[in-house]
Amino acid sequence: MKKILLILICLPIIVLSQNFTINPYLQNASPNSITIMWEYSEWDSSFVEWGTTNTLGNTNTTTYESTLWPAYIFTAKINGLQANTQYFYKVTTGNSSSQIFDFYTPSIQADEESINIIAMSDVQSSSKFTEIINDGIFTYLQNNYSGNPNENLDMVLIPGDLVNTGVNYYHWRDEFFAQSEPLFSHIPFYPVLGNHEANANFYFQYMDLPENGTPGYEEHWWYKDNSNVRIIGINSNSGYRIQEQLDWLDSILTLTTSDNTIDFVFAQLHHPHESELWTPGNTSYSGDIITILENFTTVSGKPSIHFYGHTHGYSRGQSKDH
């Protein structure tokens, strides 16, 4: 009798779960528009539903871009909104839908409504980010204001170093966005590049910032208005400490001097000029930016403030005559 030898080769079958890898978050809000972004584990048809009640009723399609294959980032830009209004939204990709979130549109500039802004920096690779959001921001708002956090907080500024390694996809997904979801699904944030972002493409894929900087340098520097405040984002990293950026800043501030709708200017950049906390991080280019801001305030009489990160500590200073 012949014997038959059976050799069984077991090959692993890999099944990738389909899910939201980054929950919805808000960018680039105006009185009449907002950008909603999210990431899904693979490409599928996607849309956002929105409305002034949680029954929603309106639908917008998206654009999309591959981040770390097979994951895709989806972007929905909603126009035709009313100023100073609460909206609800949820996003759907394939057969998966998010929970319903909400946001408030900014007021129109002419109303000059009071606004609240939080600035925080260098949140990279730290569980402190979760602590800052839950025990810091939410607790402060709860103790000092009535209503939901997004009724009392208009925007968050981040002067760089959102992640520890900008080219590491998992630092974005598992650290920055995973920790910030309770905040940024309801309140838009506006960052600038730090040195740890390393000018990585992930940064530009995940952000939708105003494209009103120097042509060819979109989202490296920009400005955004909210009420009577102009927020200016600056790239202070090596390779971008160039005259073109200083010229652009000077031109924007010249226009701001005669703009009756703007009374305050807040600038954010990553590197300090003369911080005592970590002197190797100081750059003379930041000093050039501060000089331009000081000259603007002298000429216009409009207060200006600049925020920076990089030192991993809190400090407060002032220019001698401002």
Where does the pLDDT of residue 279 fall: very low under 50, low under 70, confident under 90, or very high at 90 and above? very high
**Residues 309/122, Cβ–Cβ less than 8 Å:** yes
Residue 296, pLDDT > 80, answer yes
**Residues 124/170, Cβ–Cβ less than 8 Å:** no
Backbone angles phi, psi at 172, to 5 degrees: -70, -50
Does pTM surpass 0.85? yes
What does the DSSP assignment read for 57-93?
A: -EEEE-EEEESSTT-EEEEEEEESPPTT-EEEEEEEE
Q: What percent of the chain has pLDDT over 70?
A: 95
Where does the pLDDT of residue 3 fall: very low under 50, low under 70, confident under 90, or very high at 90 and above? very low
Residue 165, pLDDT > 90, answer yes
Comparing 214 with 320, the larger pLDDT belongs to 214
Residue 280, pLDDT > 70, answer yes
Reduced to 3 states (helix: H, G, I; strand: E, B; else coil), residue 289 is helix
Q: What is the pLDDT of residue 96?
A: 97
Q: What is the pLDDT of residues 183-215, one digit of tens each?
A: 999 999 999 999 999 999 999 999 999 999 999
Q: What is the pLDDT of residue 113?
A: 95
What's the Cα-to-Cα distance from 279 to each of 28, 272, 283, 311, rounded to whole Å?
34, 9, 9, 9
Distance CA 129, CA 123 (A): 6
Residue 92, pLDDT > 60, answer yes
Q: Which one-letter DSSP state was computed for residue 228?
A: T
Distance CA 322, CA 301 (A): 10
What does the DSSP assignment read for 165-220?
A: -TT-HHIIIIIIIHHHHHHHTTS-EEE---GGGTT-HHHHHH------SSTT-TTT
Q: What is the pLDDT of residues 98-122, one digit of tens each?
A: 999 999 999 999 999 999 999 999 9
Distance CA 320, CA 322 (A): 6
- 83: Cβ–Cβ under 8 A, 6 or more apart, which residues? 31, 32, 105, 106, 107, 108, 111
The structure tokens 């609460």 sit at 86
Write the single-letter amino acid at 6: L
- 289: Cβ–Cβ under 8 A, 6 or more apart, which residues? 234, 236, 246, 249, 267, 269, 273, 306
Comparing 8 with 72, the larger pLDDT belongs to 72
Distance CA 161, CA 277 (A): 17
Write the single-letter amino acid at 314: Y
Taking residues 291-296, report their average pLDDT. Answer: 97
Question: How far out from the chain centre does Cα 42 lie?
Answer: 23
- 164: Cβ–Cβ under 8 A, 6 or more apart, which residues? 124, 125, 171, 175, 196
Q: What is the pLDDT of residue 319?
A: 78
Q: What is the pLDDT of residue 13?
A: 36
- Which residue in 88, 75, 76, 79 sits closest to 33, CA to CA? 79
- Which residue in 184, 193, 285 sits closest to 242, CA to CA? 285
Taking residues 55-68, report their average pLDDT. Answer: 97
Secondary element (H or E) of residue 47: strand 46-51
